[in-house]
Structure 1
Amino acid sequence: MKDFINKLYKNHSLIYKGLLFISTTFFIVYLFPKSGKFKYNFENGKPWQSENLYAPFDFAIKKTDGEIESEKEVLVNNSVLYFNLDNTIEAKIKSSYSNHFKNTFSDSIPRSVSKKLYKIGEKIVDELYLFGVLSEDYNFPEDRAIVVLDGRVKKQDGFFSHLIKQDGVSKVIDNALNKQGVIQYKTVFTSLFFDLVEPNLVFDKSFTDKALQEEIGKIAYTRGSVAKETLIISKGEVVEGDKYQILKSLQSEYESQVWSKSNYIWVLFAYTLLVALALLMLLLFLRKYRIEVFENNTKVTFIFFNVSLMIFITTFVVNYDAKYIYIVPICILPLVLKAFFDARLGLFSHVLTVLLIGFIVPNSYEYMFLQIIAGIVTILTVSELYKRANLFISVGQITLIYIIAYFAFVVIHEGSVKTIKWEIFIWFILSGLATLFVQPLIYIYEKIFGLVSDVSLLELSDTNSKLLKELSDKAPGTFHHSLNVANLAEASANEIGANAMLVRVGALYHDIGKMRNPTFFTENQSTGINPHDELSPKESARIITDHVINGIEIAKKNNLPDRVIDFIRTHHGSSVVYYFYMQEKKEYDDVDKLDFSYPGPKPFSKETAILMMCDSIEAASKSLKEPTSTKIDAFVENIINKQIKDEQFLNADITFKEIESIKKVLKHKLANIYHLRIEYPE
């Protein structure tokens, strides 16, 4: 049991990566659409590239969106209008008609004429209320079908023209009087019915809308069907018209059937295999080419988190509305990874992420082409992310690439620029603006994952920072030494393509531990008094080597990033404080070298190796007397060759060729520092 626990402990890093790999795989598969993928690619207006396609099963042909919308429009334009009838109004009007007639017509009219006029008035009332009088003037077509409801019961139906509008009462009166040849009584009858007529019909909008929705619900979304084994399309035949719609119907039916039947588990298993394969490629890339990243679980977690985040955001947008897919700023991923790691890792992760997103988005080929091209442009154009102007310029270039590529795809697919959706250009611009969010995002990631970007390194390189000002006040000689080392290290890093900003910051802070006992270091001894004179060589060596431990403590107290602390830990490696070691050997034969050695570790990167070389060269150069080019060359060769002999660079991924390049830079820089020139006569 104990051995098993020990094995678990020794392999805890790999176990963690395995669990991270599995959980990320399942999370991404969970985000994928719950359907299979149609195995054929086709485009409207383009030839069918595959072999002759026969229907694999019976399926219905779906109507196009345009056809369905057209049917809906016809139903809306021809839907029945429903009006509610107040059946008390007609009876009320008829009962009060007699009194109104007597009050309106005088007794001087002959009795026979009066009876005739009375009957004409009754006919007018019957005609007005045959269908009913509207309460207000509704703007409907005259031939629109109507139904009059009496207490939700259909009383009669007809057309809208049958209903009497407010301004139509006078027309009914005129027609009735003309037929009977008594038009001279028009004014009197108009006055009579003006006071008498009341509307008895009200438009029932809610009932009309409900009936319309019921009719719309009856619309069939399919038209006809295709039987199994029927030839759908032949190789080389142009995909257009009904052929295109049949293929779209087959694609939709295929995807829904694949996921809903017994092979659900197989489809899920296939998705899992593909996602796992993509993530495995990412892990293998890290293990082969970025071993320092692979061995750091926090960094691996950070990369997997960003890949998952991009897929999650894209899935969310697709589920909401796929037309907004290009608003998602996918190019943030390579920007972030380049800021914390390097361009190659950023591009590799970006390509794998886009390939996985291809399972989610429509028009996956077009989408993947656009995003991969944009990612390449991002990697090639964005340099020195801490310079704000560079980011704005790069975002502009990325947006331009999106627009150009999309324009080209539309022309290829449609053969014309008339069908371009100009609003997509706005989405590309919005995506570019969203990419600017990378700056605050990098800051957030630094705080959450404890990583360091060039932006933070730029802030740390400010010599007016609190810690460097404290170093300048307490140990001015050490501060001056650190500045010189920073300049040498930066030039050396630029020469071999290392991270110049990182090594400069590491050089500025590498000796902050000397603030604890500044006068024990020669560069800070301005009074000529050397406190080591009163100490034994072993005690002096301990104070000298302790500046590494003290530096780590001060750095952690001031929240310096681990990448900077690495320079403090490694800038002396496991080398020996040679002066005091030799002093001790003069007095004793048996001297333990470990008592005079730095605790290590040895440099494990190009940048930390560069700092060790530059620190040793700059410190020892103060002992050069009457320096010449020959002396400086020999001096640089001796110190660095001794470090190589002591195997100080054994763990660093630096080559002999790069070391030789660094030697040349240091020789040139020292020659400039000591102003070597010909001696002029007095």
Structure 2
Amino acid sequence: MSKRLDSLYRSQSAIYKYILYLLSVACIVFFFPRGGQFKYEFQKGKPWQYENLYAPFDFSIRKSQEDIQAERNAIQTEQIPYYRFDTSVSANVFEDYNTLFPEVFQEASLSRRGYDYMLRAGVQILDSIYTTGVASVEEHPLDGEIYLVRNNEARRMPARLVHYSDSLESLVRTMVGRQGLDRYSEDFVSLMARVVRPNVRSDSELTEKEIQNKLANISSTRGNVDEGKLIIAKGEVVESENLKILESLKSEYESELWTASNSYFILAGYTILVALVLMMLLLFLKKYRPEVYRNNVNVTFIFFNILVVVFLTTLVVKYNAGLVYVVPLCILPLILKTFFDARLGLFVHVLTVLILGFVVPNSFEYIFLQIVAGIVTILTISELYKRANLFISVGQITLIYIIGYFAFHIIHEGNLENVVWLNFGFFLLNGMITLFAQPLIYIYEKMFGMVSDVSLLELSDTNSKLLKEMSNRAPGTFNHSLQVANLAEAAANEIGANAMLVRVGALYHDIGKMNDPTFFTENQTTNINPHDDLDPAKSAEIIIRHVIEGIEMARKNNLPDRVIDFIRTHHGTTLVYYFYKKSMEEQPEDTREEDFRYPGPTPFSRETAILMMSDAVEAASKSLVNPTYPMLDAFVDRIIDGQMQAGQFLNADITFKDIEAVKKVLKQRLTNIYHLRVEYPE
């Protein structure tokens, strides 16, 4: 039982990867839209490459969203508005007229006949006005026609027949003139202004109800295709008309395919394909990026980013497939290149685009554009800590999208007409969202404990709190760290390692010496050496302790784990040789080698190996007296060859060629430090 548990414990990293792999496959398949895949690929403007296609069943030709929207817009703009006629208003108007008429026209000043004639003339004017009604200025309908609802009966009529309160004066004057009563026109105008009130009002509720009824009756199809009818012949170009028929068949086919009996088989097919893609990713990591594969945090980070991109894309496609290019897919290779390398970033990007090919419309066009944009991202993004570089790269990515869209449009349409200019806005929005990569990198650093060049640049500032404290408490160690940083950075550049990471690791690798600075020779300003009064084993313990204390101090100050790795490994498992030899001379029987050996681990990357070599060479070079070039040459070879013989680089991904290149750089730098010239033979 204990052996089984022990085996399970040793395999926990592999078990975690298997679980992560299965969960990722399940999540991606869950994100996929429910439906089958049409077995033919086609594009507008390209010939049909398959055999003659006949309708496998009866189906309707579906209208495009653009066609349906055009019909909706036409209904809303062409709808004749409804107005309601209020009969009670006209009755009150006539009562008011009969009441106010004697006040305006005194019966004593007119003959009885004239009085009655004028009274009837006013009634006729009101009858004429209220035959079609009066509308207020605010209710003024548009030119054209209206529906006038009177006694629950709607009558279609020209809008110009309705009278308006702002035009009543001229109307009354005209009608009074026809009655031969011009001399009384002002009186009639005054009287009508007092009694006439609007009785025609817009019925927006009824108008909107009519619009909604018409919208609800819009058909999503136009015509049918009978089973067995030829849809398209081999070699025939896919044009607008047969394109709509093919798209209708595709939609109907995929919905017909997704039935209770078929759905499980379709899901199984999706699962197999997604599993194959993610398996390729794991195999790539295991074979070509073993240091990433061994780190479960890194593997989780990569799978997490793939899941986020797939989720966002499928969400956008379900909402509106036309917005698919708004999703900033190029953030994926950009971020992966920042934390890992360009090759891994591009590989993951291509695999993710292949997965999304199942989801998006026009999959070939989408895959082509996104892969090209990803390649441009990898080629252009460099030194992301320089803000201008990100803006330049995003501009180039956006330009690639625009050029690619133009090219596909020309292929599909054969001209530059009908260009959807809104898509350019989508590409620009995509570029603006891609700029969010900077804060996203910071968020990822906090979430996953990773480190980017931006953070390394901040950590390399010698005015930071921790380095400032070291320069005050252990100035000799601080100067030593600066020298080691310069040597290690030059060596890293020579072999193509991460120079900035090496420099930061070198600056912080000896921070543990701040606790007991005088026990290290570079900080001793007098001839008094505290080790003279200590047992060699105790001295070795103090020296070795600076590694452990450095790790604790780094964690307390929230330094990234990749920087702490340099503190942990810069002495590997080497001996504190001076005190070990002294102990062997003084008390050989009580001397144990493990008491004088650093706890390790040994360097496990090219960067940590470079630091070990640079640190040892720089520290030991202080003991050289009047060095010459041959002396420095032999000195560097002796120290690094000793580390190799001690097996310090067995776990590091560094070759003999790289080590020789590092030696060469260290020799050149030490020669410059000591201002030596090469001795030429006489």
Superposed pair shares fold, TM > 0.5: yes
Structure 1 counterpart of 2:141, from 136, 139, 142: 139
Query: In structure 1, what is the Cα distance between the partners aligned to 2:197 and 2:603?
Result: 102
Map 1:344-423 onto structure 2 (within 5 A): 344-423=343-422
Find the counterpart in structure 2 of residue 29 from structure 1: 29
Find the counterpart in structure 1 of residue 657 from structure 2: 657
Query: In structure 2, what is the Cα distance between the partners aligned to 1:213 and 1:650?
Result: 77
Query: In structure 2, what is the Cα distance between the partners aligned to 1:303 and 1:191?
Result: 89
Query: In structure 2, what is the Cα distance between the partners aligned to 1:538 and 1:100?
Result: 124
Query: Helix, strand or coil: the match of 2:358?
Result: coil
> Are residues 1:566 and 2:562 paired?
no
Query: In structure 1, what is the Cα distance between the partners aligned to 2:114 and 2:514?
Result: 128
Query: In structure 1, what is the Cα distance between the partners aligned to 2:672 and 2:542?
Result: 33
Query: Helix, strand or coil: the match of 1:36?
Result: coil
Find the counterpart in structure 1 of residue 496 from structure 2: 497
Q: Against the structure 1 CA distance between its residues 201 and 275, is the aligned structure 2 distance closer, same or farther, given a 3 Å change threshold?
A: same
Q: Which stretch shifts more, 423-432 or 568-577?
A: 423-432
Q: Is the 8 Å Cα contact of residues 85 and 199 (structure 2) preserved in structure 1?
A: yes
Query: In structure 2, what is the Cα distance between the partners aligned to 1:52 and 1:333?
Result: 42
Find the counterpart in structure 1 of residue 605 from structure 2: 605
Query: In structure 2, what is the Cα distance between the partners aligned to 1:564 and 1:68?
Result: 60
Query: In structure 2, what is the Cα distance between the partners aligned to 1:464 and 1:201?
Result: 81
Find the counterpart in structure 1 of residue 226 from structure 2: 227
Q: Deviations over 1:391-431 (max 9, x none)?
A: 23222222222222222222222222233333433333333
Q: Against the structure 1 CA distance between its residues 98 and 474, is the aligned structure 2 distance closer, same or farther, given a 3 Å change threshold?
A: closer
Query: In structure 1, what is the Cα distance between the partners aligned to 2:427 and 2:159?
Result: 53
Q: Deviations over 1:379-400 (max 9, x none)?
A: 1122222222322322222222
Q: Is the 8 Å Cα contact of residues 84 and 203 (structure 1) preserved in structure 2?
A: yes
* TM-score, with structure 1 as normaliser: 0.88
Find the counterpart in structure 1 of residue 617 from structure 2: 617
Q: Is the 8 Å Cα contact of residues 128 and 172 (structure 1) preserved in structure 2?
A: no
Quote the offset at 1:606 in angstroms: 0.8
The gaps in structure 2 that reach 5 residues or longer are none
- 1:148 maps to amino acid: V
- 1:243 maps to amino acid: N
Q: Against the structure 1 CA distance between its residues 636 and 128, is the aligned structure 2 distance closer, same or farther, given a 3 Å change threshold?
A: closer
Q: Against the structure 1 CA distance between its residues 119 and 468, is the aligned structure 2 distance closer, same or farther, given a 3 Å change threshold?
A: closer
Quote the offset at 1:226 in angstroms: 0.8
Quote the offset at 1:459 in angstroms: 1.8
Quote the offset at 1:119 in angstroms: 8.3
Query: In structure 2, what is the Cα distance between the partners aligned to 1:234 and 1:16?
Result: 53
Q: Against the structure 1 CA distance between its residues 187 and 309, is the aligned structure 2 distance closer, same or farther, given a 3 Å change threshold?
A: farther
- 1:146 maps to amino acid: Y
Find the counterpart in structure 2 of residue 53 from structure 1: 53
Quote the offset at 1:319 in angstroms: 3.9
- 1:165 maps to amino acid: H
Find the counterpart in structure 2 of residue 306 from structure 1: 305
Query: In structure 1, what is the Cα distance between the partners aligned to 2:50 and 2:19?
Result: 41
* TM-score, with structure 2 as normaliser: 0.88
Query: In structure 2, what is the Cα distance between the partners aligned to 1:678 and 1:63?
Result: 83
Q: Which stretch shifts more, 577-586 or 119-128?
A: 119-128
Quote the offset at 1:79 in angstroms: 4.5
Query: In structure 1, what is the Cα distance between the partners aligned to 2:160 and 2:652?
Result: 97
Find the counterpart in structure 2 of residue 512 from structure 1: 511
Q: Against the structure 1 CA distance between its residues 67 and 668, is the aligned structure 2 distance closer, same or farther, given a 3 Å change threshold?
A: closer
Query: In structure 1, what is the Cα distance between the partners aligned to 2:525 and 2:588?
Result: 34
Q: Against the structure 1 CA distance between its residues 285 and 115, is the aligned structure 2 distance closer, same or farther, given a 3 Å change threshold?
A: same
Query: In structure 2, what is the Cα distance between the partners aligned to 1:439 and 1:632?
Result: 45
Query: In structure 1, what is the Cα distance between the partners aligned to 2:645 and 2:456?
Result: 32
Find the counterpart in structure 1 of residue 155 from structure 2: 157
- 2:215 maps to amino acid: I
Q: Deviations over 1:634-673 (max 9, x none)?
A: 2222222222112111111111111111121122222222
Query: Helix, strand or coil: the match of 2:48?
Result: coil
Query: In structure 1, what is the Cα distance between the partners aligned to 2:337 and 2:648?
Result: 29
Query: Helix, strand or coil: the match of 2:660?
Result: helix
Q: Against the structure 1 CA distance between its residues 227 and 572, is the aligned structure 2 distance closer, same or farther, given a 3 Å change threshold?
A: same
Find the counterpart in structure 1 of residue 592 from structure 2: 592
Query: In structure 2, what is the Cα distance between the partners aligned to 1:74 and 1:222?
Result: 17
> Are residues 1:441 and 2:440 paired?
yes
Quote the offset at 1:115 in angstroms: 9.3
Find the counterpart in structure 1 of residue 289 from structure 2: 290
Q: Deviations over 1:160-180 (max 9, x none)?
A: 3695424589879979998xx
- 2:56 maps to amino acid: P
- 2:87 maps to amino acid: N
- 2:350 maps to amino acid: V
Quote the offset at 1:496 in angstroms: 0.8
Q: Deviations over 1:559-602 (max 9, x none)?
A: 22221121122112111222222233334554432222111111
Map 1:246-265 onto structure 2 (within 5 A): 246-265=245-264
Query: In structure 1, what is the Cα distance between the partners aligned to 2:531 and 2:107?
Result: 140
Quote the offset at 1:495 in angstroms: 1.0
Q: Is the 8 Å Cα contact of residues 83 and 200 (structure 2) preserved in structure 1?
A: yes
Q: Is the 8 Å Cα contact of residues 60 and 226 (structure 1) preserved in structure 2?
A: yes
Find the counterpart in structure 1 of residue 180 from structure 2: 184
- 1:655 maps to amino acid: T
Map 1:7-86 onto structure 2 (within 5 A): 7-65=7-65, 67-68=67-68, 71-72=71-72, 75=75, 79=79, 81-86=81-86
Find the counterpart in structure 1 of residue 280 from structure 2: 281
Query: In structure 1, what is the Cα distance between the partners aligned to 2:196 and 2:553?
Result: 99
Quote the offset at 1:346 in angstroms: 1.4
Quote the offset at 1:288 in angstroms: 1.5
Q: Against the structure 1 CA distance between its residues 63 and 173, is the aligned structure 2 distance closer, same or farther, given a 3 Å change threshold?
A: farther
- 1:557 maps to amino acid: K
Query: In structure 1, what is the Cα distance between the partners aligned to 2:556 and 2:98?
Result: 106
Quote the offset at 1:451 in angstroms: 0.9
- 1:538 maps to amino acid: A
Query: In structure 2, what is the Cα distance between the partners aligned to 1:197 and 1:671?
Result: 109
Quote the offset at 1:554 in angstroms: 2.2
Query: In structure 2, what is the Cα distance between the partners aligned to 1:348 and 1:165?
Result: 74
Quote the offset at 1:499 in angstroms: 1.0
Q: Is the 8 Å Cα contact of residues 671 and 677 (structure 2) preserved in structure 1?
A: no
Q: Which stretch shifts more, 600-609 or 162-171?
A: 162-171
Quote the offset at 1:493 in angstroms: 1.0
- 2:397 maps to amino acid: I
Q: Which stretch shifts more, 88-97 or 313-322?
A: 88-97
Q: Is the 8 Å Cα contact of residues 488 and 614 (structure 1) preserved in structure 2?
A: yes
Q: Against the structure 1 CA distance between its residues 629 and 220, is the aligned structure 2 distance closer, same or farther, given a 3 Å change threshold?
A: same
Query: In structure 2, what is the Cα distance between the partners aligned to 1:163 and 1:273?
Result: 72
Q: Deviations over 1:215-239 (max 9, x none)?
A: 2322222222112222111111122
Map 1:459-608 onto structure 2 (within 5 A): 459-588=458-587, 590=589, 591-608=591-608
- 2:163 maps to amino acid: K
Q: Against the structure 1 CA distance between its residues 350 and 176, is the aligned structure 2 distance closer, same or farther, given a 3 Å change threshold?
A: same
Query: Helix, strand or coil: the match of 1:220?
Result: coil
Identity %: 57
Query: In structure 1, what is the Cα distance between the partners aligned to 2:70 and 2:559?
Result: 67
> Are residues 1:6 and 2:6 paired?
yes
- 2:325 maps to amino acid: Y
Q: Against the structure 1 CA distance between its residues 78 and 509, is the aligned structure 2 distance closer, same or farther, given a 3 Å change threshold?
A: closer
Query: In structure 2, what is the Cα distance between the partners aligned to 1:619 and 1:96?
Result: 114
Find the counterpart in structure 1 of residue 268 from structure 2: 269
Aligned length: 672
Q: Which stretch shifts more, 481-490 or 320-329?
A: 320-329
Query: In structure 2, what is the Cα distance between the partners aligned to 1:531 and 1:101?
Result: 125
Q: Which stretch shifts more, 45-54 or 482-491?
A: 45-54
Query: In structure 1, what is the Cα distance between the partners aligned to 2:528 and 2:308?
Result: 61
- 2:180 maps to amino acid: Q
Query: Helix, strand or coil: the match of 2:224?
Result: strand
Q: Deviations over 1:148-167 (max 9, x none)?
A: 332xx32x634236954245
